[in-house]
Amino acid sequence: MTQIPALRLLPLLLCVLWQSACGQPVGASAGAPSYPDYPAEAVEASLEAYRETALTTRRFKHADLQPLLANLGDAFRVDTAGQSVEGRALYRVTWGNGPVEVLLWSQMHGDEPTATAALFDLFNWLGGSGDGLDSLRQLLDRELHLTFLPMLNPDGAERFERRNALGIDLNRDALHLTSPEARTLKAERDRLDAAWGFNLHDQGIYYSVGFPTGPGAVLSILAPAYDWEKTMNGKREDAAQLIALLNARWQDHVPGRVGRYNDDFEPRAFGDNLQKWGTRTVLIESGGFPGDPEKQEIRRLNVLALIDGLHAIATGRYEQYSVEDYLSIPENESYGVHALVLENARVVRPEGEFVLDIGFRRNERLLDKKARDYASWAYVSDLGDLSTFGAFERVDLDSQRVVPGKVYPGKLSLEEIKRLDARELYRQGYTAVTATTTPPDAARVPGLRILGPNDRLSAEVANGVSLDLLVYGENDRLRMVVVDGQVVEVRQ
């Protein structure tokens, strides 16, 4: 065996010792940091066990949260940070004993509750144990101090309205601080001198990722600008890098369905001002997911990202991502998608026959003073060439003829409606029935549009109307029906 003189081994030994002291494996590039592994699969597998089962719809109220807060474990501290205009408590929840201050607030718009439900899932997860993830919780507890303001606008939530009881948009009150809710949020940020802030919202379900023909945005994000020049200083860069990390996690679940907001500076907004005041601010907006009107899947994606993001803050793991990664997320577009697009529908009018695209979206209205029950309905959202729009569902009718559906005569109880044979009604040209009272969405009958006593169904194809369609193919055979925005195949 060839003998290597000891003096020749000395530089190699020194190199190995230096790399070991720095936590860098032999062979790694000089100066490249290493980060603790994140147990992504184990976290994801754990989430269902911690879902807060008391919150299943979007219209829960301030009173619904009180028993949940009272039952949080000893690791949590719950008190009141302020009061709303109408005197409802603005609850503050804190967890963790670390030096890094993280402020998270949700539902500053009363009709944007998805992240509030997600925070209660997160509380359950943080309070959990014995699932193989205790070392992760211990890391978060050791490094972070979390302060939550869930349901910052309880008066708006009571009515399921965006604004507070004064009619103020809290997200445009960061400078004047007219509302007590805005003053509470500002005071918490200043008291903590928060290093990080998570600004948690809902957006409309018809945002697209990119335009034209982008898919619907399940989630949208932003590292807000803090000046008109959109300067990217060190702290805003940190926020952008963290968002890039969250996007990478979401792409495993909803690929191509995450959008980035335009970062034009809004001098009155809280996100922009927190960034200006020195808090690294991350905006997360919950959008639309087909077949998930109560946004329960998007709620899960919120929790998934929050745990991942908190671990990244605690370890610096977000530094693996770049501002360029953030900027590569495509911008979103308001009303860039329709719920349904019927391509190449042949519409017969007195003036002639016209082949055009027909788009549908849905609207909602509340049915009771408690703002819990609601009814939704499909309407014609656009006509013409809709090739540049995305859609949750597209159907090419290939110039098949469409005829507006009719309303079945009389007013019926819900029980009577449930006994009707929808396909027999289709053969007679009926697609809708009128109920004696407007039922909530929970009582919808598949295959039929249920109208309230004062609702109407349009007899012509036009923008903005409630419209059903019967689609006829060769030999004038009924091929499909579009009922309240849903496509129903008809087999002869």
Pick from 297, 313, 333: which residue ends a domain? 333
Inside any domain, residue 475: yes
Kindly report the CATH number assigned to the domain that includes residue 156: 3.40.630.10
User: Domain check: are 44 and 140 in the same one?
Assistant: yes
Indicate whether 196 and 49 sit together in one domain: yes
pLDDT tens per residue, range 54-101:
999 999 999 999 999 999 999 999 999 999 999 999 999 999 999 999
Strands in 257-416 per DSSP E: 258-260, 280-286, 332-333, 337-349, 352-366, 374-384, 390-396, 401-404, 406-412
Please tell me what DSSP assigns to residue 14: H
Cβ neighbours of 40 (radius 10 Å): 14
Residues 417 and 310 reside in one and the same domain: no
**Nearest CA among 87, 248, 258, 83 for reference residue 180:** 83
Residues in a beta bridge with 91: 80
| Arithmetic mean of pLDDT over the chain | 93
* pLDDT recorded at residue 442: 86
The confidence score (pLDDT) of residue 347 equals 97
Say if residue 232 is in the same domain as residue 118: yes
My answer on whether 316 and 351 are in the same domain is no
Pick the closest to residue 205 from 282, 158, 257, 155 (CA basis): 257
296 and 405 within one domain:
no
Are both 105 and 220 inside the same structural domain? yes
Question: How are strands ordered across the β-sheet holding 406-412?
Answer: 406-412, 430-435, 449-451
For residue 398, how far is the Cα from the chain centroid? 35
For residue 432, what is the enclosing H or E element? strand 430-435
User: Is 235 inside a domain boundary?
Assistant: yes
Domain boundary among 317, 333, 349: 333
- Considering the domain boundaries, does residue 273 fall inside one? yes
Contact partners, residue 346, CB within 8 Å, separation at least 6: 353, 354, 355, 397, 399, 400, 401, 402
Q: How many CB atoms lie within 10 A of CB 233?
A: 11
Tell me, what's the pLDDT at 21? 38
Q: Residues 434-464: pLDDT tens digits? A: 999 999 988 889 999 999 999 999 999 999 9
Contact 219, 261 (CB under 8 A): no
Split at pLDDT 50, 70, 90, the class of 35 is confident
Query: Is the same domain home to 449 and 406?
Result: yes
Nearest to 382 by CA among 373, 391, 369: 391
Tokens 């949020």 belong to which residue?
A: 185
One domain for residues 217 and 174: yes
The answer to whether position 8 is within a domain reads: no
Could you tell me which residue, 14 or 475, shows the higher pLDDT?
Answer: 475
Q: What mean pLDDT do residues 327-341 have?
A: 97
- Within this chain, do residues 169 and 47 fall inside the same structural domain, yes or no? yes
pLDDT at 440: 92
Total tally of structural domains belonging to the chain: 2
Q: What is the pLDDT of residue 160?
A: 97
**In sequence order, what are the beta bridge partners of 359?**
341, 382
pLDDT confidence band for 361 (50 / 70 / 90): very high
Same domain, 398 and 257: no
Range with the lowest mean pLDDT among 11-15, 126-130, 356-360?
Answer: 11-15
Domain boundary among 314, 333, 352: 333
Top-confidence residue, 6 or 178:
178
Question: Is 376 part of any domain?
Answer: yes
Same domain, 345 and 329: no
pLDDT band (50, 70, 90) for residue 492: low
**Surface-to-core class of residue 1, CB atoms within 10 Å of its CB (0-12 exposed, 13-18 middle, 19+ buried):** exposed
DSSP per residue over 110-150, as a string? TT--HHHHHHHHHHHHHT--SSS-HHHHHHHHHHEEEEEE-
In the predicted model, what is the mean pLDDT of residues 466-471? 98
Percent of the chain with pLDDT over 90: 88
pLDDT at 34: 79
Supply the range of the domain harboring residue 418. 337-489
- Residue 174: burial class (beta carbons within 10 Å; 0-12, 13-18, 19+): buried
Report the amino acid identity of residue 81: A
In a domain, 31, yes or no: no
Measured in Å, how far apart are the chain's first and last C-alpha atoms? 86
Report residue 32's pLDDT band, with 50, 70 and 90 as the boundaries. low
Say what the pLDDT of residue 20 is: 39
pLDDT at 30 over 70: no
- pLDDT recorded at residue 155: 98
Helices within 403-455 (DSSP H only): 414-418, 422-427
* Upstream peptide bond of 212 is cis (omega within 30 degrees of 0): yes
The 10s digit of each residue's pLDDT in 212-252 is: 988 999 999 999 999 999 999 999 999 999 999 999 999 99
Give the pLDDT score at 31. Answer: 60
Residue 408: per-residue pLDDT: 97
Classify residue 445: in a domain, yes or no: yes
CATH of the domain at 371: 2.30.40.10
Distance CA 428, CA 434 (A): 16
> Tens digits of per-residue pLDDT, 137-180?
999 999 999 999 999 999 999 999 999 999 999 999 999 999 99
Is residue 238 domain-resident?
yes
